[in-house]
Amino acid sequence: MTTEDSQWFTSSYSSNGGQCIEVAANLVATCGVVPVRDSKNPTGPVLDFPAGSFASFVASVKAGEFGAV
C-alpha cells in the first residue's frame, strides 16, 4: 500500500491535544482501505484497515459500544 496520494484528515473533534490519528479516506474507492497514522508521527508506520471494517468501527464508536471515551 502506498501513501503517496493520501489526503490525510484529522477529525474536527480533535482539539490539538496531541492524541490524534489521521485517516486518508480518499483511498476507499480506489484501494478499498482506510490508512490510519499517528498525527504526531506523519512519517511513521501506517495501518491499512479494510474499508468495511473501519466503517463498522466508526459506527460502533458512534453507537457508544465502547463506553465513554
**pLDDT grade for 32, boundaries at 50, 70 and 90:** very high
Rounded average pLDDT over 7-11: 89
* pLDDT at site 37: 94
CB 49 within 8 A of CB 1: no
pTM: 0.79
* pLDDT at site 68: 74
CA gap 60, 67 in Å, rounded: 10
Strands (E), 1-69: 21-23, 33-38, 47-50
C-alpha pair distances (Å), 68 with each of 8, 56, 65: 26, 18, 9
Residue 45 neighbours by CB under 8 Å, 6+ apart: 37
Residue ranges covered by each domain of the chain: 1-69
